[in-house]
Amino acid sequence: MWRKRLNARGIFSLLLAVGGLFALAADGGQKLDRNDKVEWRVADGVTYENLTVFPVVSRQAADTQAFETLDEALQSGDAVVSESGGDAIVRSRDGRPVDVPYSGGAQVNQLVLVNRGKRPVVLLAGELLSGGKQDRIVAKDRIVAPGAPPLPLDVFCVEHGRWSSGTKFAASVMIVHPSVREKAAVDQAQTDVWAAVRKGSTAGPAGGMAGLAAPAAPPPLSEQSIEVEISRGARTEAYAKIYGGNAGGVPVDSFAEEIERRFARATSGLKDERVVGVVVAYGGDVAWSDVFASPAQFESYWPKLIRSYVVEALARPQLREAASRDDARDFMRPLAGNESTESEPGVYRWREINEGHYTEIALEALRPLAGNARGEPQDVMLHWLKIHRTN
């Protein structure tokens, strides 16, 4: 694996080399001028309370059946995630013990992942792993190849007060809300992750969002109600409790169901296009975007993504204004700042670009693309994330 930083000129050269140069389509869509000619378009958004979700649609889609999500892999047993250290025992599909070459005891910020299946497993920053000695979240996007050696997986704790019980983790079908996810994916600091869990949202005047319209009301999911909720019912402070049916007196599920209903109705009339992602705004602040390589891939993540956006909406100051479609289109413009990259040859490439208060992260699968007549290797961008950082 390698990592390097590039200046703006170096970025341009790299993007040309991998065929990943972005351009804005004439109709306001986001065109990714690659060999597979992927084109994105931002459609009209749906609004409920202070949350607006804009569909990102495309006529093209990559074949993503060859990949498995982390939740799917954990549920099927294709992937096993364990605490690191001498008490971790991982076995292959045929029952043979897998050598986990990590000495010492379990570590807060590192687990072990073994891919025992036949497909690459896709991990997204912020996905919650439930169990072990305490709940953790994945630190950054990456892909784990089948048959790869046990992976030392970087994670962050989202549960205080417990360091006991088992060593194995189960699928939680949950991803943390954007303020926490930002701290994991970009800031990469445990103290910042836990501070965001407790605070709820890092947006607002104290979170670096000064200049936005004055809130009409304080956030329904306040810092005080989060403190009560995560401490409820046990001597442990667990992030997952925020997603309870009526967390802190706030109906997270009913809010999510209403947005899902409006979103499904708004996108039901699409003809030659399918939804591959979303742009998310809180009041007038366009803050987040998750875009995937195919409609099927988006649909597999959508249920837990929408609930994460709702928690963020409930934790943010309630703003009177609402973002427009033009605002969402502008948000989708690619960044041109300094870039960091990590790569595992033949498996994946991770790229992060920072410019001003914005961060863009792309996860590419490095593999031959089915349907390429010449059989030449092509990269498939499985996930594209853009953030308006809160500080």
CA distances in angstroms from 318 to 58, 254, 284, 323, listed in the order given: 32, 18, 10, 13
Higher local confidence (pLDDT), 373 or 229: 229
pLDDT tens track for 318-373: 777 899 999 999 999 999 989 999 999 889 999 999 999 999 999 999 964 443 44
Quote the pLDDT of residue 86: 52
- pLDDT (0 to 100) of residue 391: 75
Mean pLDDT over all residues of the chain? 81
Q: What is the pLDDT of residue 368?
A: 47
Write down the pLDDT at residue 93.
Answer: 53
| Per-residue pLDDT at 92 exceeds 60 | no
Measured in degrees and rounded to the nearest 5, phi and psi for residue 227 equal -60, -40
Check whether 288 has a pLDDT greater than 90. yes
Whether the per-residue pLDDT at 35 is higher than 70: the answer is no
Does 229 have pLDDT greater than 80?
A: no
Of the CA atoms within 13 Å of residue 124, those in its CB half-sphere come to 29
* Percent of residues, the chain, with pLDDT higher than 70: 74
CA distances to 195, 353, 368 from 339, rounded to whole Å, are 27, 4, 25
Facing residues of 363 across strands?
350, 383
- Cα–Cα distance, 138 to 277 (Å, whole number): 21
DSSP 34-65: STT-EEEEE---EEETTEEEEEEEES-----T
CB atoms near residue 285 (< 10 Å)? 24
pLDDT tens for 166-212 read 778 988 899 999 999 999 999 999 999 989 988 888 886 533 444 45
**CA neighbor of 123 nearest in space, from 139, 137, 143, 151:** 143
Decide if 114 contacts 169 (C-beta within 8 A): no
Q: Which of 27-36, 189-198, 234-243, 318-327 has the lowest mean pLDDT?
A: 27-36
Mean pLDDT within 265-272: 93
| Lowest mean pLDDT, pick from 131-135, 309-313, 316-320 | 316-320
